[in-house]
Chain A
Amino acid sequence: MTTNGAPVNPPVNLPGERSHENLRNYPPVEDWDHHVEYDAKAHPRKVPHTYSLIPTVCFNCESSCGLLAYVDHEDLSIKKFEGNPAHPGSRGRNCAKGPATINQVHDPERILYPLRRVGERGSGQFERVSWDEAVADIAGRIRRAIVEGRKDEVMYHVGRPGEDGFVERVLQAWGVDGHNSHTNVCSSGGRSGYTHWMGYDRPSPDYANAKTIVLLSSHLETGHYFNPHAQRIMEAKQNGAKLAVLDLRLSNTASQADLWISPWPGSEGVIFLAVASYLLRTGRVAREYLRRWVNWDVYLERLHPDAQIDFEVFLERLTADYAHYTFEHAAAEAHVPVEQIERLAAMVADADTRLATHTWRSAAAGNLGGWQIARCLFFLNVLTGSVGTEGGTHPNGWDKIIAHFPEMPEANDAWSEMLWPKEYPLTTNEMSILLPHLLKDGRGHLEVYFSRVYNPLWVNPDGFTWIDVLKDESKMGLHVALTPTWSESATFADYVLPMGHASERHDTMSFETHTSKWLAFRQPVTRVAMEQQGIPYRDSRDANPGEVWEENEFWFEVSWQIDPDGALGIRKFFESKARPGERMTQDEYYDILFSHSVPGLPAAAEGQGLTPLQYMRKYGVFEVAKDLYRLDERTLTDAELEGAEADARGVLRKPVSDDTQPPLVGEAGAVGVVHADGTKTAGWLSPSRKLELFSTTLADWGWPEHATPGYIESQVSARKVDRDNDEFVLMPNFRLPTLIHTRSGNAKYLTEISNTHPLWFNQSDAVAMGLTTGDLVRVTTEIGHFIVRVWATEAIRPGVVGLSHHMGRWQQDGHPGSRWVMGKVDLDRSDAGIWKLRYTEGVKPFTSEDPDSERIYWDDPGVHQNLTFPVQPDPISGMHCWHQKVRIEKARPDDQYGDVEVDVNKSRDVYRRWLSMTRPGPGPGGLRRPEFLMRHVTPKRKAYRAAAVAGTGDGADR
């Protein structure tokens, strides 16, 4: 038996393999390339099929769980997806979205061929075009922009990345500053809170070993990282851990908690500060940990300049500084019983150093100052010394590996003010929600805009302004939508190019699911099966449905055509090493990558008689390391120390120049820290390499009042919501366990489980307003309103209403779409800028090659609420603050379910108002942005200096 021609291998221990008595969960790995399974539908008749079980990675949520594709030897069709027992994160198990991948692959509504628009942009009419024509046009435009020095005019705007490091390298090769993410509608608030502690922008809780788990977000239900986290949270609970959940609604996570607190939105931080204050005044803090790892000296210097620089003095002052955060104060601010906060404090105090905490989106994404909520939550980890410990919370970087291709292009020196506008120097991620406003301001122009597995006009706030800009060819020269399935945004593209689903592309993925560093490999499984069987192919288009092309090959081809003769120095990064002058294949790319950039993989592969690539094709994943704790204490190697010198604060730095490229996170050249006892350890990626209780960055970049963990009053605090005037807080962004953004609607088995869009409305509020379940209400925001149905329930706190993410899907009559989920709408814009959307048809059964499409029994397309939200970027983190203050009334006579109306003039006003809350850069040293903050494609250091590079970024210069 062989795999890709390799000899028989010794079995490896798969972390997800299990057997009870005579039943096992997966066929033995030796059988994976010829597993015989009997037809389930023919049963009890025995109809055998022979399958290759080919590992890949789920492409629905961000957890990147392992999948095994069952590829039928008979016709190379994919029968189903199960989990991959070799994957350390998911351990062979999946949520509903994993197996539902098969629906997406077989979706009769999916896009199979490259399309080019016919008529004006947004007309919704497309014609089939060849890949050659599309690539030539796109590459030609990018080439012109690069040659003419317009390095901020090519933008790759990514929703679900689903990969690590590939496109960053492509963009770096092009020399453009064009990486845009979805992150500031997602997690930049939480990231900001973590970043100002430790540089790393995400937490990685060691749930499995925790004594107390505190969650702000719903990891038993969705999100980062649903399935892997849920496994470990429930394991910990079985072992006696206590779970506290803060959520405005009774999520499925809250329903499993030992303590559910439903605070007034935005008050979460005060609750954590009250717990912190309790820990301090009762002395239940990890003194030695704080002494060694917190920048307490800076705290005293900056806040108590008269005080002696002494740790005991620090503890006294800190205790006094937080003394006013009492349980009673928090209970009053959060509108919750004081006993709940006392219970939380006791749970945290009892955790010892085994406190696992996590927030993702949720409160940090909902509120002005939400980033401080994450900062306050991590404060509890710091105080209890539960940082990087067994059962504590780690930085993501310890449990994640980004495998970079060994040959990286030189860093660029451009700076795009449309991604990093000067008003937001501390934004943790690109100011993506402002893109249409910045373009309307005349700050720039885009030659080519890629929306990639991203639905910007749907998911972002203020979608009608997006439509205005997407339709304006003077602002966006070319819009290319890279997507496997139709989205609202794709109909406003010039090219719609079909990209592959989870089983149709190569990517590497790694996420901090637990205390393990694993690298998973997504594969075009049919292509792999063809290779196993010796069937020739040109590229993934020969294996995928229709002309679906894997993105990597597409990027290689575009890059090649940008620089066909190699004169721009771009082509060489996409050229075969083995066959100079020819394009590098994906096999060659990953062969090199896995051979050079994944520690331990070559040896492990050799142990099995495989090449690194063969190993990854066979198992789909490799665990580089596991159970890494306290890496802050890692002693620096001689190589790291060579040439490094300690600065005044003890930070060990190597010399850098203006041409040095800072790392993904952290300052260029910084390698570690010298402690008071003389030890030299790696420490953190913050400027001080310590945990920054006092953030000099925040203080020195204009926000000294927020330099320590504190409370910022939300835009929807109880004080600002007039309950007597039927004002409420709308929580518009909670996810359901079975759907993921707008990408999973085409999975019929998921949509049939979740297909209505009720407004969660506290029962007592409903009674007070004379409303019952099913009643239509008009929900008015600052820029417009929408009409929705009420669900009167006890599962949400009074004063707050909730409307889930995912729904409110639409297509215009005669435009392409996904009929599993989209209703038909009339879309109308007045000259004065009043947009109206009204459904003319709900979801209906339709005829296709899948008989199930005629069995659709749901009809609710939902309500596209995001259209009515103005942009509300937090002036520090840049996060869009999702919670909306709304006024609710019974629907008026002419109102219809799903109606949306928005005045885009008002949305401009709100944009300007939030802009006025900023404190623009440059910061110390004339920098545009602190160097240590995470950036996907970091430019050279000189690009950080505001006036350093003329002619790039500032649109006014063009």
Chain B
Amino acid sequence: MQYGFAIDQRTCIGCHACTVACKTEHEVPLGQFRTWVKYVDSGSFPDTTRSFGVMRCNHCTDAPCVKICPTTALYKRDDGIVDFDKERCIGCKSCMQACPYDAIYIDADTHTAAKCNLCAHRVDEGLEPACVVVCPTHSIWVGDLEDPQSGIAKLVAANETAVRASEQNTGPNVFYLGADRAVLDPLAAPVDDTYIWAKPDSQRLRNAGDLTPDPVTNARTTLNTAHPRPWGWKVVTYLWTKGVGAGALALALIAHLMGIEMGVVGDYVAPALALFGAATTGALLVWDLKRPERFLFIFLKSNFTSWLVLGSYVLSAFSAGAVLWLLAVALDVGWALTLLAWVGIPVSALMAAYTAFLFGQAEGRDLWQSPLLFWHLIVQALMVGSGALAVAGLFVDLSDSAWRLLAVAFVSATVLHLLMLLVEYAGKHPSRQAAVAARIVTHGRYARLFWLGAVLPAAVGVLLGALTWGGASVVLLALAGVIAQPALLAYESAFVRAGQDPPLS
């Protein structure tokens, strides 16, 4: 059984009754919507047209929000409804990243995720959802799409239909009849400075310049709702803290296996950085939760398909490994150090790069879907990790071979980082949304941050590190190590923000 909606845009009059009936049924706070009506104006006078589109959760067959939800607060019922339980939600917002439809929001009253649940509380009692009941033109159909005899299945079978974001392969179960492509495609109709009778939110206004209007249709979005970026500086920062810690510890472990003596830097600074990085990462993660007091639900109500859960276990394992490393160093247990090194290197890599899997589950963010991201995060971790250790190296006695390792690691990682940026941003993008996001990074409003804040310092760092590698003062490598930190933060800032910038609705 698969409940779904069919929305007949041939008869929809854009009246917003569904929006308001839904809001009164669920007492949805101001500014938040489980369903809403988008308007698009196209053409030139006197051949101007206006199209409507009713937007909402698609109750996907393969719902990415369910997969990514760390606590199974979002779940798929046997009848196909993607439902949610606010009592289990920790407010991590990852579902908002996973949803390619802008369907989920964090309820301002409960601080937990919410969305259209097809009025499951009514459906359970044999009643239609509130939006279906109220619709003046009966343009919203509900029913079992898998029952070929149902009204909705017949309607969908007998008519040409379209779905939103079919390229995301989520199996959306909201079918549109007679919808204008410009309404369903979030990139087709940018906003102007005003809507028809409301004001676009700042996010959409900022994005307007990043989208190219269609010169033929002249399509413009004239009414829509606000969908602010779920993740901001905390996630940006945690990518860096995680990278520093993972990179630093990994280098110490590699040095140990290669028999390169890192001294205090390898014995204490690296694990300390690892613990500091892990602790800060954990703190930022919890801080970013809208229900931080529920953070233990990640472990108590784990959904093991979610990389937020798996990542938390990686974070824990990594932290434990760092502690064990310190213990082994303190107790000078050589075999343990070697064992920890063998195990710790892949764990550190995962620590640095599990985010690639988490971002990969963020089906709504095409920029983050790059297959290169896993390796890129490792490279970035080695860059900032080696840089941080080089800075520490200035204050202790570090062997030449250790310096050499750090220089080689830093220069190679940074060069690789730059090469990967080249591949990511100069190459062809798998989707239009990714291309738009990439363009925002390189040519849009993050261009200055990207080129001057991320690329240029990294290039300078390569130069300085190479000089040290070539025999110049280690101070240059340390300086490069200092420069690399904000450079990565700058890049992550652009990467994380731009990934969330292209509109999904």
Chain A interface residues toward B at CB < 8 A: 20-27, 36-41, 43-45, 80-83, 92-100, 102-103, 220-221, 226-227, 230-231, 234, 237-238, 250, 252-253, 255-256, 260, 262, 336-337, 736-738, 748-750, 752-758, 762-764, 772-774, 789, 791-798, 804, 851-852, 855-858, 860
Point out the residues of chain B lying under 8 angstroms from A738, CB to CB: 15-16, 20
Q: How far is the CA of A754 from the CA of B39 in the complex (A)?
A: 13
Q: Given the complex, which residues of B lie within 8 Å of A795, measured CB to CB?
A: 41, 45, 48, 50, 196
The CA-CA distance from A95 to B19 in the complex, in Å, is 10
Residues of A within 8 A of B15 (CB): 95-96, 221, 226-227, 230, 252, 737-738
Chain A residues with Cβ below 8 Å from B21 are 82, 94, 96, 99
A94 to B136, CA, bound (A): 6
Whether the Cβ atoms of A43 and B199 lie closer than 8 Å is no
Q: From the candidates B20, B83, B135, name the one contacting A44 in the complex (CB within 8 A).
A: B83
Does B259 interact with chain A (Cβ within 8 Å)?
no
CB atoms of B197 and A736 under 8 A apart: yes
Give Cα A43 to B354, complex, Å: 34
B86 nearest in chain A by CB position? A41
Residue among A44, A736, A855 making CB contact with B30, cutoff 8 Å:
A855
Asked if residues A754 and B198 are in contact (CB atoms below 8 Å), the reply is yes
Query: Bound complex: CA of A227 vs CA of B43, how far in Å?
Result: 28
Can you name 7 A-B pairs with beta carbons within 8 Å? A38-B121, A93-B133, A95-B17, A96-B15, A753-B19, A794-B218, A855-B108
CB contact between B48 and one of A93, A94, A250 (< 8 Å): that residue: A250
Q: Is B20 a contact partner of A758 (Cβ separation < 8 A)?
A: no
Chain B residues near A220 (CB, 8 Å)? 13
- List the 5 closest pairs (A to B, CB-CB), nearest first: A255-B50, A96-B20, A43-B121, A855-B30, A96-B16
Tell whether A255 pairs with B49 under 8 Å between CB atoms, given A24-B127, A774-B194: yes
B residues with a Cβ closer than 8 A to A are: 10-11, 13-17, 19-21, 23-27, 29-31, 41, 43-46, 48-52, 83, 85, 87, 108-109, 117, 119-128, 130, 132-139, 141-144, 147, 150-152, 192-199, 218, 226
- A493 to B335 CA separation, bound complex (whole angstroms): 92
Which residue on chain B has the smallest CB distance to residue A249?
B48
Which of these, A227, A756, A757, A851, contacts B136 with CB under 8 Å?
A227
Residues of B within 8 A of A737 (CB): 13-16
Task: Report the minimal beta-carbon distance from B41 to chain A, rounded to whole angstroms.
Answer: 6
Closest Cβ–Cβ distance, residue B494 to chain A (whole Å): 27
A98 to B46, CA, bound (A): 34
Partner of B50, one of A43, A83, A238, A252: A252
List of A residues within 8 angstroms of B194 by Cβ: 756, 758, 773-774, 789, 791
A230 in contact with B136 given A260-B46, A262-B45 (CB within 8 Å): yes
Q: Which of A20, A24, A793 contacts B152 (CB 8 A)?
A: A20
Q: How far is the CA of A262 from the CA of B51 in the complex (A)?
A: 18
Main SS class of interface, B: loop
Contact, CB under 8 Å: B128 / A20:
yes
Q: Is the CB of B133 within 8 A of A92?
A: yes
Asked if B24 and A21 make an inter-chain contact with CB atoms under 8 angstroms apart, the answer reads no
Is B41's CB under 8 angstroms from A250's CB?
yes
| Cα-based distance from A71 to B376 in the complex (angstroms) | 59
Residues in A with CB closer than 8 Å to B135 are 93
Structural contact, A336 and B46, CB atoms closer than 8 A: yes
A44 vs B442: C-alpha distance in the bound complex, in angstroms? 45
A41, B144: Cβ atoms closer than 8 Å: no
Whether the pair A43, B117 counts as a contact (CB closer than 8 A) is yes
Q: How many A-B residue pairs have CB under 8 A?
A: 225
| A857, B31: Cβ atoms closer than 8 Å | yes
Query: What's the least CB distance linking B116 to chain A, in Å?
Result: 12
Chain A contacts of B50 at CB under 8 A?
250, 252, 255, 795
Q: Is the CB of B133 within 8 A of A20?
A: no
What secondary structure prevails in chain A residues at the interface with B? loop
Closest-by-CB residue of A relative to B85 is: A44
Whole-angstrom CA separation of A81 from B20 in the bound complex: 11
Q: Which residues of B contact A102 (CB under 8 A)?
A: 24
User: Given that A23-B143, A795-B41 are known contacts, is A749 also in contact with B24, CB under 8 Å in the complex?
Assistant: yes
Contacts of A37 in B (CB 8 A): 121-122, 125
Q: Interface centre among B108, B127, B139, B218, by most A CB within 10 Å?
A: B127
A residues less than 8 Å from B30 (CB atoms): 748-749, 752, 852, 855-857
Closest chain A residue to B149, Cβ basis: A21
Residue from the set B49, B137, B152, B199 with the largest chain A CB neighbour count within 10 Å = B137
A261: min CB distance to chain B, Å: 8
Q: Which B residues are CB-close (under 8 A) to A43?
A: 83, 117, 120-121
What residues on A are CB-neighbors of B130 within 8 Å?
82, 99
Chain B neighbourhood of A95, CB < 8 A: 15-17, 136
13 more A-B contacts (CB under 8 A) besides A96-B17, A230-B136?
Answer: A20-B143, A20-B152, A23-B127, A23-B142, A38-B124, A44-B85, A226-B136, A255-B50, A753-B16, A757-B197, A794-B41, A855-B29, A858-B198
When distances are taken between beta carbons in the complex, the residues of chain B under 8 Å from A337 are 46
A21 lies within 8 A of B17 (CB): no
- Determine if B31 and A98 form an interchain contact, defined as CB atoms under 8 angstroms apart: no
**Residue from B46, B120, B128 in contact with A797 in the complex, judged by beta carbons closer than 8 Å:** B46
Most chain A beta-carbon neighbours within 10 Å: one of B19, B43, B120, B196:
B196
Taking CB atoms, residues of chain A closer than 8 Å to B125 are 36-38
Among B26, B197, B226, the residue within 8 A (CB) of A756 is B197
- List, in ascending order, chain A residues with CB within 8 A of B152's CB: 20
Which residues on B sit within 8 Å (CB–CB) of A27?
A: 127
Q: Which residues of A contact B119 (CB under 8 A)?
A: 40
Cβ–Cβ contact A252 & B14, under 8 A: yes
Contacts of A227 in B (CB 8 A): 15, 17, 136
Q: Which residue of B lies closest to A79 (CB)?
A: B24
B25 A40 Cβ-Cβ under 8 A? yes
In-complex Cβ contact of A45 among B25, B87, B123, B143 (8 A)? B87
Tell me the minimal C-beta distance from B33 to chain A in angstroms. Answer: 9
Report the separation of the CA atoms of residues A392 and B458 in the bound assembly, to the nearest whole angstrom. 76
CA of A260 to CA of B126, assembled, Å: 42
Q: Are B128 and A25 interface neighbours, CB within 8 A?
A: yes
A257 to B226, CA, bound (A): 30
Contact of A262 among B46, B87, B139, B196 (CB under 8 A): B46
- The minimal Cβ–Cβ distance linking B497 to chain A, given in whole angstroms, is 21
CA distance A796 to B29 in the complex (A): 34
* Cβ contact within 8 Å between A94 and B17: yes
Nearest residue, chain B, Cβ from A41: B27
* Residues in A neighbouring B109, C-beta threshold 8 A: 851
CA distance A701 to B67 in the complex (A): 78
Report the bound CA distance from A615 to B14 in whole Å. 35
Determine if A798 and B124 form an interchain contact, defined as CB atoms under 8 angstroms apart. Answer: no
Across the two chains, which residue of chain A brings its CB closest to B46? A262
Contact A93 B46 (CB under 8 A): no
Residues of B within 8 A of A99 (CB): 17, 20-21, 23-25, 130, 134
Q: Which residues of A contact B41 (CB under 8 A)?
A: 250, 793-795
Given contacts A43-B120, A749-B24, A756-B194, contact A234 B133 (CB under 8 A): no
What is the chain A residue whose CB lies nearest that of B109?
A851
B144 contact set on A, CB distance < 8 A: 21
- Contact of B46 with A774 in the complex, beta carbons under 8 Å: no
Whole-angstrom distance between the alpha carbons of A32 and B458 in the complex? 71
Q: Are A804 and B197 in contact (CB under 8 A)?
A: yes
Residue of B nearest to A859 (CB): B199
Task: For residue B123, give the distance in angstroms from its CB to the closest CB of chain A.
Answer: 7
Q: What are the residues of chain A within 8 A of B133 when measuring CB–CB?
A: 25-26, 82-83, 92-93
CA distance A234 to B14 in the complex (A): 13
CB–CB B45/A763 < 8 A: yes
Chain B contacts for A20, CB-based, 8 A:
128, 141-143, 150-152
A contact residues around B192 at 8 Å (CB) = 773, 791-792
| A43 to B117 CA separation, bound complex (whole angstroms) | 10
Cα-based distance from A260 to B50 in the complex (angstroms): 12
Contact B17 A794 (CB under 8 A): no
Q: What B residues does A792 contact at CB under 8 A?
A: 192
Please report the C-alpha to C-alpha distance between residue A873 and residue B177 in the assembled complex, in whole angstroms.
47
In angstroms, Cα B35 to Cα A753, docked, is 12
In whole angstroms, how far apart are the Cα atoms of A252 and B222 in the complex?
12
